[in-house]
Chains A and B, each alone.
Chain A
């Protein structure tokens, strides 16, 4: 990766001769590009309606982003290992309903305990996914597409047609959903702390680096003695646990939970991750990029009503972003490969 980056830098002259230096620069600094798009979107929306930048509006965006952020962080780890977890929306729904139900039955349960329960439910789901993928040798897509429906079916089974209303839940829990420190909501703080921890884990710890190795070349990673099975299980359990934690935040934020909580959310999460520059074939990307992707998606969905665009466009935009992001990544990769080849022929 670093070698590639260095090669790419030294090749700056050659690519600029193709005439789209600006485009190349933007593409090369993926995070920078995302920031520019994000800033432009915020600027345009704020120009149309200045209230978009008011305190309550920003808090709304941060609250909405906190859940997407949390799930995108977990998804990044799985995608890095060349996997995918399509069941996150269902895991979130399961955890949200179960914690809300637990709290409505036992108002005395403290918030940390509720969060641990949510984490635990998610981790068990993740362990199941990881086991099917690793021990059963089922491709991650198929395994988690299956569990997407299995877990959702379990939520419906548990919930039936019932719903848990805000009035059923202890006030302390709901306060926690809207409380803030120095104007910053608790929920986004939790997500940012998790994000920072996972970022450190991925960049500084051996197990974290192994995730990249597994995604870059599974065969080479195995030959290098990386315990592939344990790492993959870790990735899926982490992803599931964070989706479970996301469920607790969901319950705290919305107060009302029924069996459809988190429905079709996996698409937003996958979109956030690939838009954030995590390669869908693994081995490259960062949680920071995924976080930017999550913010971008949240800002888009909050900006649509302000810009007077039909809310129905949101799903179409998510889809277009997924396809667009992987297409751009591919074009960049092809261009890099080509310039490397040119360089090789010069040397030879």
Chain B
């Protein structure tokens, strides 16, 4: 990273230091929000703002641990299924008379256990995380259906569900924004201001070198999966209370949106690169884009095309930019200094 920056400095491409993907995405997000507020009808209303925050809350929460996992060079595709399974579990427990105050922490624990299963297969057995979490994507969703079938549990107490969708006093600020900001700050601090964060980047940049530097790579990854599961459990509780409905197919397909948002935020799918502010911008951009399109009466089918395309483009574009930049740099070097050797 620093070598790269130094090389760019030497080449005189000072601008490119600021033109990183995550800075670009933050700028694009701000520009898009301004555009949407001014030109999409109803987008700027406080009602829509509240709705938008509720829409993006699960994506944002899941994106936090996903960022850390992708930075270590792994992936967790099972998060949406974990949300579904904890939601089902919540419904079953509520039906059997367990008080909600016990259910909610239990759901987070269940999520953590499901994450630990992923972590065990990835770290203890050394299996590719992609294959493992595709397997648990099917497994957890299947278990969710086994628990609850295609029925729904919807008789949760109004006090809890109205807090979930409620706002602080008379302001349009949703209650859930507070825990969201706290968690986002926590994850940002872990990734960018703590030794663990450096270890996460190191494991993703070069696994072997990180291990030689004394970083317990496997242990680190295991706990990241546990964290990811626990957060998914929390999202399961949120999702269930928000719609006041525990269903096995809750959050179906959400893993795509989460991965798309993380990659859009400038995290490299190959690991070792990315920033949390970039990811937050990616989440906001993706969610507000979907929100604006929906307000503009674009069908939900077209939305899946947009999300899928953004996922591909967010990996494709940096690759192409990188290649173009490489070519430009080589040309520059050729004109300024005679190249030592190719």
B139 at the interface (CB under 8 A from A): yes
Residues of A close to B299: CB separation below 8 A: 156
B137 touches A150 (CB 8 A): no
Whole-angstrom CA separation of A285 from B147 in the bound complex? 36
Whole-angstrom CA separation of A318 from B311 in the bound complex? 26
Extra inter-chain contacts (10) besides given A138-B312, A143-B315, A153-B302, CB under 8 Å: A141-B130, A149-B253, A149-B256, A149-B304, A150-B309, A153-B304, A153-B305, A315-B138, A327-B125, A330-B126
Interface, chain A (partner B; CB < 8 A):
84, 132, 136-139, 141-143, 145-150, 152-154, 156-157, 267, 270-271, 274, 280-281, 310, 312-323, 326-327, 330-331
A313 touches B315 (CB 8 A): no
B127 touches A326 (CB 8 A): yes
B319 at the interface (CB under 8 A from A): yes
Residues of A close to B132: CB separation below 8 A: 323, 326
B5 at the interface (CB under 8 A from A): no
Minimum CB–CB distance from B127 to chain A (whole Å) comes to 5
Q: A139-B269, A319-B137 are in contact. Are A146 and B308 (CB under 8 A)?
A: yes
Residues of B close to A146: CB separation below 8 A: 260, 308-309, 311-312
Minimum CB–CB distance from A100 to chain B (whole Å) comes to 18
User: A327 contacts which of B127, B140, B312 (Cβ < 8 Å)?
Assistant: B127
A-B contact pairs, 17 of them (CB 8 A): A138-B316, A142-B263, A145-B259, A146-B311, A147-B312, A150-B309, A153-B304, A157-B305, A310-B149, A312-B146, A315-B142, A316-B143, A318-B142, A322-B138, A323-B132, A327-B127, A331-B125
B308 touches A148 (CB 8 A): yes
A267 touches B315 (CB 8 A): no
Minimum CB–CB distance from B131 to chain A (whole Å) comes to 4
Whole-angstrom CA separation of A310 from B151 in the bound complex? 14
Whole-angstrom CA separation of A153 from B293 in the bound complex? 15
Q: Give per-residue flags for B295-332: 1 if the beta carbon is below 8 A from chain A beta carbons, else 0.
A: 00001011111011101100110011000000000000
Whole-angstrom CA separation of A73 from B116 in the bound complex? 33
Whole-angstrom CA separation of A267 from B141 in the bound complex? 12
Shortest Cβ distance from A316 into B: residue: B142
User: B138 contacts which of A84, A157, A316 (Cβ < 8 Å)?
Assistant: A316
A310 touches B308 (CB 8 A): no
For the residues of A in contact with B, the DSSP-based class is helix
Residues of B close to A149: CB separation below 8 A: 253, 256, 304-305, 307-308, 311
A152 touches B146 (CB 8 A): no
Minimum CB–CB distance from B294 to chain A (whole Å) comes to 14
Report the number of A-B residue pairs with Cβ-Cβ less than 8 Å.
134
Residues of A close to B263: CB separation below 8 A: 142
Whole-angstrom CA separation of A156 from B263 in the bound complex? 26
Whole-angstrom CA separation of A309 from B301 in the bound complex? 34
Q: A142-B269, A149-B304 are in contact. Are A322 and B312 (CB under 8 A)?
A: no
A320 touches B139 (CB 8 A): yes
B145 touches A315 (CB 8 A): yes
Q: A149-B256, A319-B137 are in contact. Are A327 and B121 (CB under 8 A)?
A: yes
Residues of B close to A143: CB separation below 8 A: 312, 315
Whole-angstrom CA separation of A281 from B132 in the bound complex? 12
A157 touches B302 (CB 8 A): yes
Whole-angstrom CA separation of A154 from B145 in the bound complex? 28
Shortest Cβ distance from B310 into A: residue: A146
Residues of B close to A274: CB separation below 8 A: 131
Whole-angstrom CA separation of A267 from B142 in the bound complex? 12
Residues of A close to B135: CB separation below 8 A: 271, 319-323, 326
Whole-angstrom CA separation of A149 from B252 in the bound complex? 13
A330 touches B127 (CB 8 A): yes
Minimum CB–CB distance from B3 to chain A (whole Å) comes to 21
B127 touches A156 (CB 8 A): no
User: A270 contacts which of B134, B140, B145, B319 (Cβ < 8 Å)?
Assistant: B134
Minimum CB–CB distance from A65 to chain B (whole Å) comes to 19
B136 touches A312 (CB 8 A): no
The 6 A-B residue pairs with the shortest CB-CB distance, nearest first, are A319-B139, A316-B142, A319-B138, A149-B308, A315-B142, A322-B135
A317 touches B142 (CB 8 A): yes
Q: Give per-residue flags for B227-260: 1 if the beta carbon is below 8 A from chain A beta carbons, else 0.
A: 0000000000000000000000000010010011
Residues of B close to A148: CB separation below 8 A: 256, 308
